[in-house]
Amino acid sequence: MRNDRPRILTGDTPTGRLHLGHWVGSLENRVALQDEYECFFLIANMHAFTTRADKPDDIRESTLEIVKDWLACGIDPERSTFVLQTEIPAIAELSWFLAMLLPFNRVMRNPTLKHELETKGLGDNYSFGFPMYTVGQCADILVFRPELVPVGEDQLAHIEPCREVARRFNQMYCGIDPQTDDADYVEQGGVFPIPEGKVGRVARLIGTDGVNKMSKSLNNAIFLSDSFKKIKKKMGGLYTGRSAMDEPGDINNALFDYVRAFIHDKERVAELERKYADGDNIGDGHIKVEVAEAIDQMLAPMRERRAAYEGKDGDDKILALLREHTQKANDAAEETLSMAKKAMKLDFGSRALSFN
Ligand code: ATP
Ligand code: MG
Protein backbone atom coordinates (compact mmCIF):
# COMPACT_ATOMS: atom_id res chain seq x y z
CA MET A 1 0.00 0.00 0.00
CA ARG A 2 1.55 3.29 -1.10
CA ASN A 3 1.12 6.50 0.87
CA ASP A 4 -0.26 9.62 -0.86
CA ARG A 5 2.92 11.57 -0.27
CA PRO A 6 6.27 9.96 0.48
CA ARG A 7 6.91 10.00 4.19
CA ILE A 8 9.69 11.17 6.46
CA LEU A 9 10.36 9.87 9.93
CA THR A 10 13.05 11.19 12.18
CA GLY A 11 13.37 12.41 15.73
CA ASP A 12 15.29 13.33 18.82
CA THR A 13 15.88 11.83 22.24
CA PRO A 14 14.67 13.99 25.14
CA THR A 15 17.99 14.07 26.94
CA GLY A 16 18.22 17.88 26.86
CA ARG A 17 17.47 20.80 24.59
CA LEU A 18 18.24 20.88 20.89
CA HIS A 19 21.50 22.39 19.70
CA LEU A 20 23.27 23.66 16.58
CA GLY A 21 24.32 20.12 15.65
CA HIS A 22 20.66 19.13 15.39
CA TRP A 23 19.94 22.16 13.26
CA VAL A 24 22.62 21.58 10.63
CA GLY A 25 22.44 17.78 10.84
CA SER A 26 18.71 17.22 10.64
CA LEU A 27 16.30 20.04 11.61
CA GLU A 28 17.12 22.23 8.64
CA ASN A 29 16.17 19.39 6.29
CA ARG A 30 12.99 18.71 8.23
CA VAL A 31 11.83 22.29 7.93
CA ALA A 32 12.66 22.37 4.22
CA LEU A 33 10.91 19.09 3.37
CA GLN A 34 7.62 19.59 5.22
CA ASP A 35 5.56 20.20 2.09
CA GLU A 36 7.07 17.65 -0.21
CA TYR A 37 6.79 14.86 2.37
CA GLU A 38 4.28 13.75 4.94
CA CYS A 39 6.42 14.20 8.02
CA PHE A 40 6.44 12.37 11.35
CA PHE A 41 8.78 13.69 14.01
CA LEU A 42 9.38 11.45 16.98
CA ILE A 43 10.36 12.22 20.55
CA ALA A 44 12.24 9.12 21.65
CA ASN A 45 11.22 9.42 25.29
CA MET A 46 11.31 5.66 25.82
CA HIS A 47 14.87 5.59 24.54
CA ALA A 48 15.80 8.40 26.90
CA PHE A 49 15.25 5.84 29.66
CA THR A 50 18.03 3.65 28.22
CA THR A 51 20.58 6.02 29.75
CA ARG A 52 18.48 7.92 32.31
CA ALA A 53 16.04 5.52 33.88
CA ASP A 54 16.57 7.29 37.20
CA LYS A 55 15.61 10.74 35.85
CA PRO A 56 11.92 10.71 34.88
CA ASP A 57 11.49 14.40 35.74
CA ASP A 58 14.33 15.42 33.44
CA ILE A 59 12.98 13.29 30.61
CA ARG A 60 9.52 14.80 30.93
CA GLU A 61 10.93 18.32 30.98
CA SER A 62 13.16 17.66 27.97
CA THR A 63 10.22 16.18 26.09
CA LEU A 64 8.40 19.50 26.31
CA GLU A 65 11.57 21.49 25.61
CA ILE A 66 12.23 19.56 22.43
CA VAL A 67 8.76 20.21 21.09
CA LYS A 68 9.29 23.89 21.89
CA ASP A 69 12.58 23.77 19.97
CA TRP A 70 10.83 22.18 17.00
CA LEU A 71 8.18 24.87 16.92
CA ALA A 72 10.85 27.55 17.41
CA CYS A 73 12.88 26.41 14.45
CA GLY A 74 9.93 26.36 12.08
CA ILE A 75 8.41 22.89 12.20
CA ASP A 76 4.73 23.43 11.54
CA PRO A 77 2.28 21.33 13.61
CA GLU A 78 -0.39 21.88 10.96
CA ARG A 79 1.70 20.11 8.36
CA SER A 80 3.77 17.65 10.36
CA THR A 81 2.83 15.05 12.95
CA PHE A 82 4.54 14.83 16.33
CA VAL A 83 5.03 11.34 17.70
CA LEU A 84 5.36 10.75 21.42
CA GLN A 85 7.07 7.37 21.46
CA THR A 86 5.65 6.09 24.77
CA GLU A 87 2.07 6.61 23.57
CA ILE A 88 2.47 4.57 20.39
CA PRO A 89 2.11 0.92 21.47
CA ALA A 90 2.61 -0.31 17.91
CA ILE A 91 6.28 0.75 18.18
CA ALA A 92 6.92 -1.49 21.18
CA GLU A 93 5.07 -4.39 19.55
CA LEU A 94 6.90 -4.08 16.27
CA SER A 95 10.23 -3.87 18.15
CA TRP A 96 9.70 -7.41 19.41
CA PHE A 97 9.03 -8.83 15.98
CA LEU A 98 11.95 -6.98 14.39
CA ALA A 99 14.30 -8.10 17.18
CA MET A 100 13.85 -11.63 15.85
CA LEU A 101 15.21 -10.56 12.48
CA LEU A 102 18.38 -8.88 13.72
CA PRO A 103 21.39 -11.00 14.69
CA PHE A 104 22.49 -10.23 18.25
CA ASN A 105 26.15 -9.84 17.24
CA ARG A 106 25.20 -7.46 14.48
CA VAL A 107 23.55 -5.16 17.01
CA MET A 108 26.46 -5.29 19.42
CA ARG A 109 29.00 -4.54 16.71
CA ASN A 110 27.21 -1.36 15.64
CA PRO A 111 29.89 1.37 15.61
CA THR A 112 27.56 4.11 16.89
CA LEU A 113 26.50 1.94 19.80
CA LYS A 114 30.13 1.24 20.71
CA HIS A 115 31.03 4.89 20.42
CA GLU A 116 28.09 5.96 22.60
CA LEU A 117 29.07 3.45 25.27
CA GLU A 118 32.51 5.10 25.36
CA THR A 119 31.60 8.78 25.12
CA LYS A 120 28.66 8.54 27.52
CA GLY A 121 30.88 6.75 30.03
CA LEU A 122 28.50 3.80 30.30
CA GLY A 123 31.36 1.31 30.71
CA ASP A 124 30.35 -2.30 31.34
CA ASN A 125 27.36 -1.36 33.44
CA TYR A 126 24.94 -0.36 30.74
CA SER A 127 21.50 -1.83 30.95
CA PHE A 128 20.10 -4.64 28.82
CA GLY A 129 17.79 -1.96 27.44
CA PHE A 130 20.57 0.20 26.07
CA PRO A 131 21.48 -1.91 23.02
CA MET A 132 17.76 -2.59 22.54
CA TYR A 133 17.36 0.97 21.39
CA THR A 134 19.01 -0.06 18.10
CA VAL A 135 16.12 -2.44 17.47
CA GLY A 136 13.61 0.05 18.84
CA GLN A 137 14.87 2.61 16.40
CA CYS A 138 14.15 0.23 13.51
CA ALA A 139 10.58 0.01 14.76
CA ASP A 140 10.30 3.79 15.29
CA ILE A 141 11.18 4.26 11.68
CA LEU A 142 9.45 1.36 9.99
CA VAL A 143 6.13 1.72 11.77
CA PHE A 144 5.62 4.89 9.71
CA ARG A 145 6.81 3.29 6.47
CA PRO A 146 8.91 6.31 5.51
CA GLU A 147 11.11 6.65 2.48
CA LEU A 148 13.46 9.21 3.96
CA VAL A 149 15.11 9.61 7.37
CA PRO A 150 16.96 12.94 7.82
CA VAL A 151 19.70 12.33 10.40
CA GLY A 152 23.20 13.38 11.40
CA GLU A 153 26.10 11.26 10.26
CA ASP A 154 26.39 9.51 13.65
CA GLN A 155 22.98 7.95 13.15
CA LEU A 156 23.59 6.59 9.64
CA ALA A 157 25.02 3.40 11.13
CA HIS A 158 21.64 2.92 12.84
CA ILE A 159 19.71 3.28 9.60
CA GLU A 160 21.60 0.38 8.07
CA PRO A 161 20.14 -2.31 10.41
CA CYS A 162 16.75 -0.74 9.79
CA ARG A 163 17.17 -1.18 6.05
CA GLU A 164 18.36 -4.75 6.54
CA VAL A 165 15.46 -5.62 8.77
CA ALA A 166 12.96 -4.11 6.32
CA ARG A 167 14.38 -6.18 3.47
CA ARG A 168 14.39 -9.33 5.59
CA PHE A 169 10.80 -8.82 6.76
CA ASN A 170 9.59 -8.25 3.22
CA GLN A 171 11.44 -11.31 1.97
CA MET A 172 10.42 -13.59 4.83
CA TYR A 173 6.77 -12.65 5.28
CA CYS A 174 5.74 -11.09 1.98
CA GLY A 175 7.60 -13.44 -0.35
CA ILE A 176 9.69 -10.71 -1.99
CA ASP A 177 12.63 -11.87 -4.09
CA PRO A 178 15.94 -10.96 -2.39
CA GLN A 179 17.24 -9.69 -5.74
CA THR A 180 14.63 -6.93 -5.75
CA ASP A 181 15.89 -3.35 -5.99
CA ASP A 182 15.48 -1.40 -2.75
CA ALA A 183 13.19 1.06 -4.49
CA ASP A 184 10.77 -1.68 -5.62
CA TYR A 185 9.95 -3.56 -2.42
CA VAL A 186 6.56 -1.96 -1.84
CA GLU A 187 5.54 -2.22 -5.46
CA GLN A 188 6.31 -5.94 -5.31
CA GLY A 189 4.01 -6.35 -2.31
CA GLY A 190 6.30 -5.73 0.66
CA VAL A 191 4.98 -4.00 3.77
CA PHE A 192 8.01 -1.77 4.30
CA PRO A 193 9.81 0.61 1.96
CA ILE A 194 13.61 0.45 2.40
CA PRO A 195 14.21 3.89 3.92
CA GLU A 196 17.16 6.05 3.07
CA GLY A 197 19.14 8.24 5.46
CA LYS A 198 19.61 11.86 4.46
CA VAL A 199 22.47 13.68 6.11
CA GLY A 200 22.26 17.44 6.53
CA ARG A 201 24.41 20.33 5.34
CA VAL A 202 26.96 19.56 8.06
CA ALA A 203 27.14 15.84 8.67
CA ARG A 204 28.73 16.05 12.11
CA LEU A 205 29.13 19.36 13.85
CA ILE A 206 31.95 19.33 16.34
CA GLY A 207 31.23 20.46 19.91
CA THR A 208 32.69 23.49 21.66
CA ASP A 209 35.18 21.12 23.31
CA GLY A 210 36.74 20.89 19.85
CA VAL A 211 36.94 17.10 20.17
CA ASN A 212 33.61 15.26 20.22
CA LYS A 213 30.49 15.68 18.14
CA MET A 214 28.25 18.37 19.60
CA SER A 215 25.93 16.44 21.86
CA LYS A 216 23.28 17.18 24.46
CA SER A 217 24.89 14.76 26.87
CA LEU A 218 28.48 15.94 26.57
CA ASN A 219 28.32 19.51 27.86
CA ASN A 220 29.76 20.86 24.61
CA ALA A 221 26.64 22.23 22.94
CA ILE A 222 25.34 25.62 21.88
CA PHE A 223 21.60 25.30 22.32
CA LEU A 224 19.05 26.81 19.94
CA SER A 225 17.61 28.64 22.94
CA ASP A 226 20.94 30.11 24.16
CA SER A 227 21.30 33.89 24.57
CA PHE A 228 23.96 35.85 22.70
CA LYS A 229 25.93 36.10 25.93
CA LYS A 230 26.00 32.33 26.32
CA ILE A 231 26.84 31.76 22.67
CA LYS A 232 29.76 34.18 22.92
CA LYS A 233 31.03 32.56 26.09
CA LYS A 234 30.82 29.03 24.66
CA MET A 235 32.48 30.07 21.38
CA GLY A 236 35.16 31.84 23.40
CA GLY A 237 36.03 28.58 25.12
CA LEU A 238 36.72 26.73 21.87
CA TYR A 239 40.34 25.61 22.00
CA THR A 240 42.44 26.02 18.84
CA GLY A 241 45.99 25.84 20.19
CA ARG A 242 46.93 29.00 18.30
CA SER A 243 48.44 31.79 20.39
CA ALA A 244 49.33 34.84 18.25
CA MET A 245 47.59 36.91 15.58
CA ASP A 246 50.52 36.55 13.21
CA GLU A 247 50.84 32.79 13.66
CA PRO A 248 49.64 30.90 10.55
CA GLY A 249 46.58 28.89 11.59
CA ASP A 250 45.02 25.64 10.43
CA ILE A 251 41.78 26.35 8.57
CA ASN A 252 40.67 22.78 9.10
CA ASN A 253 40.38 23.26 12.84
CA ALA A 254 37.11 23.26 14.80
CA LEU A 255 36.82 27.06 14.70
CA PHE A 256 36.76 27.06 10.92
CA ASP A 257 34.16 24.30 10.89
CA TYR A 258 31.97 26.85 12.67
CA VAL A 259 33.02 29.65 10.31
CA ARG A 260 31.94 27.60 7.29
CA ALA A 261 28.78 26.30 8.95
CA PHE A 262 27.40 29.62 10.19
CA ILE A 263 28.87 32.54 8.24
CA HIS A 264 26.85 32.53 5.06
CA ASP A 265 28.76 35.26 3.19
CA LYS A 266 31.09 33.10 1.07
CA GLU A 267 33.49 35.96 0.30
CA ARG A 268 33.90 36.72 3.96
CA VAL A 269 34.58 33.05 4.68
CA ALA A 270 37.26 32.97 1.97
CA GLU A 271 38.82 36.15 3.35
CA LEU A 272 38.90 34.76 6.90
CA GLU A 273 40.44 31.52 5.65
CA ARG A 274 43.15 33.36 3.75
CA LYS A 275 44.04 35.70 6.61
CA TYR A 276 44.07 32.89 9.14
CA ALA A 277 46.23 30.60 7.01
CA ASP A 278 48.71 33.45 6.39
CA GLY A 279 48.77 34.65 10.00
CA ASP A 280 47.73 38.01 8.60
CA ASN A 281 46.95 39.91 11.77
CA ILE A 282 43.73 38.12 12.72
CA GLY A 283 43.08 36.77 16.19
CA ASP A 284 41.04 33.72 17.16
CA GLY A 285 39.07 35.91 19.55
CA HIS A 286 37.90 38.17 16.75
CA ILE A 287 36.76 35.26 14.59
CA LYS A 288 34.95 33.67 17.53
CA VAL A 289 32.95 36.84 18.10
CA GLU A 290 32.10 37.05 14.40
CA VAL A 291 30.89 33.44 14.43
CA ALA A 292 28.91 34.06 17.63
CA GLU A 293 27.19 37.02 15.96
CA ALA A 294 26.28 34.97 12.91
CA ILE A 295 24.86 32.21 15.11
CA ASP A 296 22.94 34.74 17.16
CA GLN A 297 21.38 36.25 14.05
CA MET A 298 20.17 32.84 12.99
CA LEU A 299 18.83 31.94 16.43
CA ALA A 300 17.13 35.25 17.25
CA PRO A 301 13.86 34.49 15.39
CA MET A 302 13.84 31.01 16.93
CA ARG A 303 14.16 32.44 20.44
CA GLU A 304 11.33 34.81 19.65
CA ARG A 305 8.98 32.04 18.49
CA ARG A 306 9.97 30.00 21.54
CA ALA A 307 8.94 32.83 23.86
CA ALA A 308 5.27 32.08 23.07
CA TYR A 309 5.61 28.79 24.96
CA GLU A 310 7.17 29.95 28.21
CA GLY A 311 5.90 28.99 31.66
CA LYS A 312 3.02 26.75 32.68
CA ASP A 313 0.72 28.08 29.95
CA GLY A 314 3.35 27.21 27.37
CA ASP A 315 3.73 23.70 28.78
CA ASP A 316 -0.04 23.24 28.66
CA LYS A 317 -0.13 24.26 25.01
CA ILE A 318 2.58 21.72 24.20
CA LEU A 319 0.80 18.95 26.11
CA ALA A 320 -2.44 19.68 24.26
CA LEU A 321 -0.59 19.58 20.95
CA LEU A 322 1.02 16.26 21.82
CA ARG A 323 -2.32 14.74 22.76
CA GLU A 324 -3.87 15.85 19.50
CA HIS A 325 -0.98 14.51 17.47
CA THR A 326 -0.83 11.21 19.31
CA GLN A 327 -4.13 10.15 17.82
CA LYS A 328 -2.89 10.89 14.29
CA ALA A 329 0.39 9.12 14.94
CA ASN A 330 -1.38 6.08 16.34
CA ASP A 331 -3.69 5.88 13.33
CA ALA A 332 -0.68 5.66 11.02
CA ALA A 333 1.28 3.27 13.26
CA GLU A 334 -1.66 0.93 13.84
CA GLU A 335 -2.24 0.67 10.11
CA THR A 336 1.34 -0.51 9.59
CA LEU A 337 1.25 -2.89 12.53
CA SER A 338 -1.88 -4.56 11.22
CA MET A 339 -0.29 -4.91 7.77
CA ALA A 340 2.81 -6.46 9.37
CA LYS A 341 0.78 -8.83 11.56
CA LYS A 342 -1.29 -9.91 8.61
CA ALA A 343 1.88 -10.75 6.69
CA MET A 344 3.03 -12.75 9.75
CA LYS A 345 -0.26 -14.69 9.92
CA LEU A 346 -1.11 -12.91 13.16
CA ASP A 347 -4.35 -11.35 11.96
CA PHE A 348 -6.72 -12.70 14.61
CA GLY A 349 -9.00 -9.71 14.74
CA SER A 350 -9.01 -5.97 14.56
CA ARG A 351 -8.57 -3.42 17.29
CA ALA A 352 -9.22 0.28 17.59
CA LEU A 353 -6.92 2.43 19.65
CA SER A 354 -8.24 5.63 21.08
CA PHE A 355 -6.34 8.28 22.97
CA ASN A 356 -7.60 11.22 24.91
P1 ATP B 1 22.56 12.40 23.05
O2 ATP B 1 23.85 13.00 23.56
O3 ATP B 1 21.54 12.18 24.11
O4 ATP B 1 22.79 11.20 22.17
P5 ATP B 1 22.45 14.05 20.73
O6 ATP B 1 22.93 15.42 20.94
O7 ATP B 1 23.37 13.07 20.07
O8 ATP B 1 21.95 13.53 22.14
P9 ATP B 1 20.19 12.88 19.44
O10 ATP B 1 18.82 13.11 19.98
O11 ATP B 1 20.89 11.59 19.73
O12 ATP B 1 21.10 14.10 19.94
O13 ATP B 1 20.19 13.13 17.87
C14 ATP B 1 19.10 13.68 17.16
C15 ATP B 1 19.48 13.89 15.70
O16 ATP B 1 20.43 14.94 15.57
C17 ATP B 1 20.15 12.67 15.06
O18 ATP B 1 19.71 12.60 13.73
C19 ATP B 1 21.61 13.01 15.12
O20 ATP B 1 22.34 12.36 14.10
C21 ATP B 1 21.59 14.51 14.88
N22 ATP B 1 22.75 15.12 15.50
C23 ATP B 1 23.01 15.14 16.83
N24 ATP B 1 24.17 15.77 17.07
C25 ATP B 1 24.65 16.16 15.86
C26 ATP B 1 25.84 16.88 15.44
N27 ATP B 1 26.72 17.32 16.31
N28 ATP B 1 26.02 17.12 14.11
C29 ATP B 1 25.10 16.69 13.20
N30 ATP B 1 23.97 16.02 13.54
C31 ATP B 1 23.74 15.76 14.84
MG1 MG C 1 22.86 10.98 20.05
What 3 state SS string does the chain have?
Answer: CCCCCCEEEEEECCCCCCEHHHHHHHHHHHHHCCCCCEEEEEECHHHHHHHHCCCHHHHHHHHHHHHHHHHHCCCCCCCCEEEEHHHCHHHHHHHHHHHCCCCHHHHHCCHHHHHHHHHCCCCCCCCCHHHHHHHHHHHHHHCCCCCEEEECHHHHHHHHHHHHHHHHHHHHHHCCCCCCCHHHCCCCCCCCCCCEEEECCCCCCECCCCCCECCHHHCCCCECCCCHHHHHHHHHCCCCCCCCCCCCCCCCCHHHHHHHHHCCCHHHHHHHHHHHHHCCCCCHHHHHHHHHHHHHHHHHHHHHHHHHHCHHHHHHHHHHHHHHHHHHHHHHHHHHHHHHHHHCCCCCCCCCCCCC
Which ligand is closest to the CA of 24, given by its number?
Answer: 1
Residue ranges of domains in the chain, CATH in brackets: 7-204+310-343 (3.40.50.620), 228-307 (1.10.240.10)
Q: Report the pLDDT value the prediction gives residue 2, as an integer from 0 to 100.
A: 59
Ligand 1 pocket member 165 (CB < 6 A):
no
Give the distance (Å) from ligand 2 centre to CA of residue 215: 7
Ligand 1 pocket member 26 (CB < 6 A):
yes
Quick check: pTM over 0.85? yes
Q: Report the pLDDT value the prediction gives residue 116, as an integer from 0 to 100.
A: 84
Q: Report the pLDDT value the prediction gives residue 164, as an integer from 0 to 100.
A: 96
Q: Report the pLDDT value the prediction gives residue 23, as an integer from 0 to 100.
A: 96
Q: Report the pLDDT value the prediction gives residue 1, as an integer from 0 to 100.
A: 56
pLDDT < 50: residue spans in the chain: none
pLDDT in tens, 231-286: 999 999 998 888 888 999 999 999 999 999 999 999 999 999 999 999 999 999 99
Q: Report the pLDDT value the prediction gives residue 114, as an integer from 0 to 100.
A: 85
Q: Report the pLDDT value the prediction gives residue 123, as an integer from 0 to 100.
A: 80
pLDDT in tens, 204-237: 999 999 999 999 878 999 999 999 999 999 999 9
Atom of ligand 1 nearest to the CA of 120: 2
Q: Report the pLDDT value the prediction gives residue 238, as an integer from 0 to 100.
A: 94
